[in-house]
Chain A
Amino acid sequence: EVQLVQSGAEVKKPGESLKISCKGSGYKFTNYWIGWVRQMPGKGLEWMGIIYPGDSDTRYSPSFQGQVTISADKSISTAYLQFSSLKVSDTAMYYCGRSLDFGGNADYWGQGTLLTVSS
């Protein structure tokens, strides 16, 4: 069974750093792209970026370039979304999703990681 399991909810203070994880199982992790999507409270889906764990090819949305870092450790089938200095405006639900091709649909999604940033 294909699964993407994300790390748990986080409560952080502004300025802190954070790394969210997305662990894939039930498929060959290196053969699929993993994308990250932000959903702010009551809002729509925003694409943040994507990585191909097979060769670490990584692409970012212009809106998130320089704001986050996407990485993957194929030895443990896990992708990461990293924040270096959190802001209150980073408060959102974050989802990972896998796609066979860069232009393919995300056919499986993680359960989401809720991040709350508050002083």
Chain B
Amino acid sequence: NFTLTQPHSVSESPGKTATISCTRSSGSIGSNYVHWYQQRPGSPPTTVIYEDNQRPSGVPDRFSGSIDSSSNSASLTISGLKTEDEADYFCQSYNSSNWVFGGGTKVTVL
């Protein structure tokens, strides 16, 4: 199995851009889709990016996803940060028999 490693926390000011990385330990990051979830306290997760870079309807275009084969990582970028973006963010991928979640990143909007 592989692991997905995220930074524990990211802090940025309102209006700025926050980027969260998700590094795959083994196997190619591009071999399986990466999905990103937002979780606010006391609520279940919700999808903000699916299939590496697709945005569900209702998710602002301030949220974007990308894959970087050179670093074997995925990234979630939140531009024009708002206080409402303050939450935990989890990446998720899979192999033939397992889902794998990253450890989560707490985004603080200062």
Contacts and interface: CB of A to CB of B under 8 A. Distances in A.
B13 interface: no
Contact of A103 (B33, B45, B101): B33
B73 to A, nearest CB: 18
A105 B51 contact: yes
Contacts of B90: 44-45
A106 B45 contact: yes
Contacts of A46: 101
A45 B101 contact: yes
Interface residues of A, number: 22
B104 A44 contact: yes
Interface of A: 35, 37, 44-47, 50, 59, 61-62, 95, 97, 102-107, 109-112
Interface stretch (B19-27, B79-87, B92-100): B92-100
Contact of A45 (B94, B97, B104): B104
B35 A61 contact: no
A111 B92 contact: no
A105 B93 CA distance: 9
Contact of B99 (A47, A107, A112): A47
